Amino acid sequence: MDSPADSPMDSTTDRTASGRAVDARDRDDEGRARNARPRDGLGRPLPYGTDGVPRQPEGVVREPEETVAEAQRLLDEGKPFHAHEVFEDAWKSGPEEERQLWRGMAQLAVGLTHAARGNVTGGARLLRRGAGAVTDWAAPGAGRERPYGMNLGGVAEWARALAGEVEGGASVDAGARAPRLRG
């Protein structure tokens, strides 16, 4: 039998200010590791017990038009990290032939996230990678230039221009620099 000292509720267990055991891992209902720390608007972890921005629920299956509208709302609010989660849901739950599109859109949102956090190299790289993915997906003649009303050419142009500005030392306000997906 375990001794009282082995009990997870033992008073000698190191705990954070919020009462969470220091070595305990956040887990979902199915036992998968999750990071339950609150996050700011750019997805950066905050200390436990701090008020953060509500996170997007994972695994939500939306109609493509809903994905675009929800992602645009989050981008406009300066929450590109959260928009990336919406695109990621579409990437993981959508039809195989659209995965490159949604993955590219998620990369664009993460690129904006990194740029707004001041990560010049990562931000520019992801913006260009996402622009390449959506451009390749909407290759001329494929008839896929404006899926779900999105202007992929304009979005790719926005991403490449922003990547150059970021590399040139420009600071980025995520909400002010959000792309117009249906522009």
In the block, tokens 């675009």 appear at 68
What whole-number distance in Å separates Cα of residue 169 and Cα of residue 2?
58
Host H or E run for residue 130: helix 120-137
Q: What is the DSSP letter of 140?
A: T
What whole-number distance in Å separates Cα of residue 127 and Cα of residue 132?
9
What does each of the 183 residues of the chain score in pLDDT, given as a tens digit? Answer: 444 444 444 455 555 555 555 555 666 676 655 667 888 888 888 888 888 888 777 888 999 999 999 999 999 999 999 999 999 999 999 999 999 999 999 999 999 999 999 999 999 999 999 999 999 999 877 778 789 999 999 999 999 999 999 999 989 999 999 999 997
Q: What is the DSSP letter of 163?
A: H
Name the pTM for this structure.
0.78
